[in-house]
């Protein structure tokens, strides 16, 4: 049984991701760990317009009941749920729970603005992706779960990418979907043509297809790829000191996370060390 962690701030964005996470658990016989992390120095968010700020534990109990009802309303009453409330910084709370419970995947809601629903998840998703070395699936506010037919995977043809693909393939096959490996060629290839051919050869018997585009603008290249191949989910490996740093600091990863319909699955490079 796969264990999935879902951090929540009780917002509509989080509720949307909660439903998505329950669908994954239902499809893969998973168990969902729901985490609310709060700071004693900040106010606990209201659960409803009529709710008064008070003891966090009382609000947490009320929220558990609401989320259990949300699960039933969406026909996920059979999904195993465990609820945790932790005082402290979100990333550290996640790291502690991941270690204690052997969590394999984190599902988080993301927003693309600094509005009232961006108090925790919108601003903290980036921190989780960069500091927690297990896969993180970020769900944009407008994204609804649909059957996955095509998964996009951005690659630079290295060994880490190959390891990720090997881990992904069984799940993608179970969903009767295909993986489209996408590479942006900016005219400065690190790998030789022969190395790239050898890299691709190891997946010749798998549902993996390769798409390459010569493009100076990485953002435009990726979004064109998503549209042209009807990608339902985008995935990539983070690289703290190289590609991921350039991509993330230029807000590309953030923009992809906030795409209105495409969830982003990120694999941390340290998970292979």
Residues 133 and 159 in one domain: no
On the 0-12 / 13-18 / 19+ scale of CB atoms within 10 A, 216 is: exposed
Residues 91 and 175 in one domain: no
For position 240, what pLDDT does the model report? 40
Looking at 119, 140, 161, the residue that finishes a domain is 140
Q: Does residue 270 fall inside a structural domain?
A: no
Residues 43 and 121 in one domain: yes
226 pLDDT band, cuts 50/70/90, is confident
Looking at 76, 105, 140, the residue that finishes a domain is 140
Q: Does residue 171 fall inside a structural domain?
A: yes
Q: Is the pLDDT of residue 45 over 50?
A: no
Residues 228 and 117 in one domain: no
Question: Residues in the chain, how many?
Answer: 273
Which of 190, 206, 205, 197 has its CA nearest to residue 156?
Answer: 190
Q: Give the span between the Cα atoms of 151 and 131, in whole angstroms.
A: 24
Domain hosting 187: range is 150-263
Q: Does residue 37 fall inside a structural domain?
A: yes
Contacts of residue 251, defined as CB under 8 A and 6 or more positions apart, other chains included, come to none
Q: Does residue 91 fall inside a structural domain?
A: yes
The pLDDT tens digits for 112-139 are 544 433 444 455 777 788 888 899 998 8
Residues 249 and 159 in one domain: yes
With b meaning 16 or more CB within 10 Å and e meaning fewer, what string describes 85-110? bbeeebbebbbebbeeeebebbbbbb
Residues 166 and 73 in one domain: no
Residues 184 and 92 in one domain: no
Number of domains composing the chain: 2
Looking at 109, 140, 171, the residue that finishes a domain is 140
Tell me the backbone φ, ψ of residue 153, rounded to 5 degrees: -135, 115
The pLDDT tens digits for 178-210 are 999 999 887 777 788 999 999 999 999 999 999
Q: Does residue 273 fall inside a structural domain?
A: no
Residues 65 and 130 in one domain: yes
Q: Does residue 218 fall inside a structural domain?
A: yes
Sign of dihedral through CA atoms 113, 118, 121, 126? positive
Residues 180 and 86 in one domain: no
Q: C-alpha 263: how far from its chain's center?
A: 7
């Amino acid at each position: 049984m796969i264990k999935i962690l879902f951090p929540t701030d009780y917002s509509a964005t989080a509720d949307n991701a909660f439903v998505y996470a329950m669908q994954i658990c239902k499809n893969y016989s998973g168990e969902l760990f729901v985490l609310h992390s709060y700071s004693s120095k900040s106010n606990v968010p209201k659960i409803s317009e009529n709710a008064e700020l008070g003891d966090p534990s009382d609000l947490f109990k009320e929220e558990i009941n609401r989320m259990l009802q949300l699960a039933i309303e969406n026909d996920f009453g059979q999904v195993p749920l465990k609820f945790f409330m932790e005082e402290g910084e979100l990333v550290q709370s996640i790291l502690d729970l991941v270690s204690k419970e052997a969590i394999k995947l984190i599902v988080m809601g993301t927003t693309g603005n600094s509005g009232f629903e961006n108090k925790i998840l919108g601003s903290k998703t980036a921190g989780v992706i960069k500091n927690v070395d297990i896969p993180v699936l970020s769900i944009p506010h407008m994204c609804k779960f649909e059957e996955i037919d095509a998964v996009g995977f951005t690659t630079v043809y290295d060994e880490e990418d190959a390891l990720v693909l090997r881990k992904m393939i069984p799940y993608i096959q179970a969903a009767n979907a295909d993986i489209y490996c996408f590479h942006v060629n900016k005219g400065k290839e690190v790998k030789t043509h022969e190395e790239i051919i050898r890299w691709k050869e190891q997946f010749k018997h798998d549902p993996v297809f390769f798409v390459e585009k010569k493009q100076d603008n990485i953002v435009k290249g990726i979004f064109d790829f998503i549209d042209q191949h009807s990608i339902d989910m985008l995935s990539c490996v983070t690289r703290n000191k190289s590609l991921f740093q350039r991509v993330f600091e230029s807000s590309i990863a953030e923009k992809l996370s906030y795409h209105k319909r495409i969830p982003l699955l990120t694999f941390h490079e340290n998970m292979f060390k």
